[in-house]
């Protein structure tokens, strides 16, 4: 690890991040429509998908502690194996039970995957240079994430438009391609994500696992001691709930205004691609605003604007208006991630970094599960537009929580980077 400079660490981080999110982009246009095509109702889809969030709730913090204890690389390798199995199952899933198993596997994968790569980047960049500009790296990660998902979504739309190849339907083809790319991502993690782990073997592994409770306790201790962390985690709860409105319900809303689910699915490919390019643009430009008004006020503004855009998705009657509101919502979404992550990273030292990121993600996933169940139930009982308006309100109501960080070093950005930590040991 000593041969890696902060710049080289950042390049590897961004490359691995691109490979991690490209399969996700392929899945976006078909994630909701594929279960519906195979016989599930919208409410059944919401119930099955909610199990992903529940699984994450149960496993997120222990897996974050595992990453802090045994290292980031082994945890990401295990996550990649599970995601490969999940996508393999999705190629043939055609019953409620099979989709339940798929989403449980996805939940375990998300719990393992949440935090280790970003924590690896921050730890190793600061180890190479204690004054490394991690915020710029995190902002660039938002750009890479957006471009990767955009490319995947665009390719997915093209694959669906080509029609069925072989025994599967047109909506199944992107799943096969995502499965292949996931195997490439797994190999890249094995080759590029280096860690200094001098102690190996079963005894070292057992010692690392015994350190998991201490890592979890450390993250919870940070939550108890810092009102800023409490506020940021609370933002994540509202964000995770409201995110369902523009992520999961957009294909259904588009199918509603277009009048044809297959046409909506093909349209979601290029629309999703442009949305994630807009997300990348938001991530690239937001440091300019954050330096001008500070990260807390930037986060406040973005929450309000995103709520307004999701309301626009509900209120516009035609596809042009709905798509325009969706694109602006994703621009704000991409801009929000580096602001939130930067504030969070500046509150913690390296030994508990992945655990704190897992804690943040842990509340997001069950909030998203609750959002899926609630918003799909509201849509079934009333109207999809009412459901979107509820999601918009939840997104906007989180805005004042960012202002807790006003006046703090983390909020202003005028802070010395945390001192370099010892690299993760087993």
What local confidence, expressed as pLDDT, does residue 156 receive?
86
- At 110 the pLDDT is 87
Q: What is the DSSP string of 324-337?
A: HHHHHHHHHHHHHH
Tell which CATH architecture fits domain 6-195+204-412: Up-down Bundle (1.20)
CB-CB contact of 148 with 277 (8 Å): no
- What are the residue ranges in the chain where pLDDT is below 50? 1-2, 201, 409-426
Q: What is the pLDDT of residue 238?
A: 94
Mean pLDDT for all residues in the chain = 81
Q: Are 409 and 346 in contact (CB under 8 A)?
A: yes
Q: Output phi, psi for 412, to 5 deg.
A: -85, -25
Give the per-residue pLDDT at 47. 86
Q: Is 383 helix (H, G, I), strand (E, B) or coil?
A: coil
pLDDT digits (tens, 9 = 90+) for 152-190: 888 887 888 887 777 778 888 999 999 999 999 999 999
Q: Which residues contact 372 (CB under 8 A, 6 or more apart)?
A: 46, 49, 50, 53, 244, 248
Q: What is the pLDDT of residue 212?
A: 63
223-277 confidence digits (pLDDT tens) = 777 788 889 989 999 999 999 998 888 888 888 888 877 777 778 778 877 887 8
- Report if pTM > 0.75: no
Phi, psi of 40 (to 5 degrees): -80, 150
pLDDT for residue 288: 84
What pLDDT was estimated at residue 133? 72
Q: What pLDDT does residue 121 have?
A: 87
In the block, tokens 């991630």 appear at 337
């Amino acid at each position: 690890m000593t041969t890696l400079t902060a710049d080289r660490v950042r390049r590897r981080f961004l490359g691995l991040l691109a490979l991690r999110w490209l399969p996700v982009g392929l899945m976006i246009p078909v994630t909701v429509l594929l279960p519906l095509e195979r016989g599930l109702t919208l409410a059944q889809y919401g119930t099955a998908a909610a199990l992903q969030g529940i699984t994450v709730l149960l496993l997120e913090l222990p897996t974050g502690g595992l990453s802090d204890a045994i290292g980031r690389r082994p945890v990401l390798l295990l996550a990649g194996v599970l995601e490969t199995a999940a996508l393999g199952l999705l190629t043939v899933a055609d019953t409620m039970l099979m989709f339940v198993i798929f989403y449980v596997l996805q939940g375990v994968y998300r719990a393992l995957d949440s935090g280790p790569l970003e924590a690896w980047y921050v730890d190793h960049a600061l180890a190479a240079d204690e004054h490394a500009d991690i915020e710029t790296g995190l902002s660039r990660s938002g750009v890479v994430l957006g471009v990767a998902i955009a490319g995947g979504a665009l390719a997915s739309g093209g694959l669906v438009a080509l029609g069925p190849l072989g025994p599967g339907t047109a909506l199944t083809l992107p799943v096969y391609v995502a499965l292949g790319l996931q195997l490439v991502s797994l190999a890249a993690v094995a080759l590029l994500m280096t860690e200094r782990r001098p102690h190996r073997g079963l005894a070292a592994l057992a010692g690392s696992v015994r350190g998991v409770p201490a890592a979890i306790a450390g993250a919870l201790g940070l939550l108890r001691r810092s009102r800023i962390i409490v506020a940021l985690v609370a933002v994540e709860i509202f964000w995770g709930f409201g995110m369902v409105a523009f992520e999961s319900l957009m294909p259904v809303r588009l199918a509603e205004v277009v009048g044809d689910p297959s046409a909506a699915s093909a349209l979601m490919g290029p629309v999703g691609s442009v949305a994630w390019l807009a997300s990348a643009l938001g991530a690239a430009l937001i440091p300019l605003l954050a330096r001008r008004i500070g990260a807390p006020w930037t986060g406040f503004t973005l929450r309000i604007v995103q709520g307004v855009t999701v309301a626009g998705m509900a209120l516009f009657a035609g596809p042009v208006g709905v798509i325009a509101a969706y694109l602006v919502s994703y621009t704000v979404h991409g801009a929000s991630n580096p602001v939130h992550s930067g504030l969070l990273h500046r509150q913690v030292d390296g030994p508990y970094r992945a655990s704190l990121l897992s804690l943040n993600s842990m509340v997001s996933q069950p909030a998203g599960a609750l959002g899926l169940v609630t918003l799909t139930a509201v849509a079934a009982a009333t109207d999809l537009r009412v459901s979107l308006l509820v999601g918009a309100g939840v997104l906007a109501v989180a805005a004042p929580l960012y202002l807790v960080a006003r006046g703090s070093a983390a909020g202003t950005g005028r802070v010395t980077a945390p001192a370099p930590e010892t690299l993760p040991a087993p």
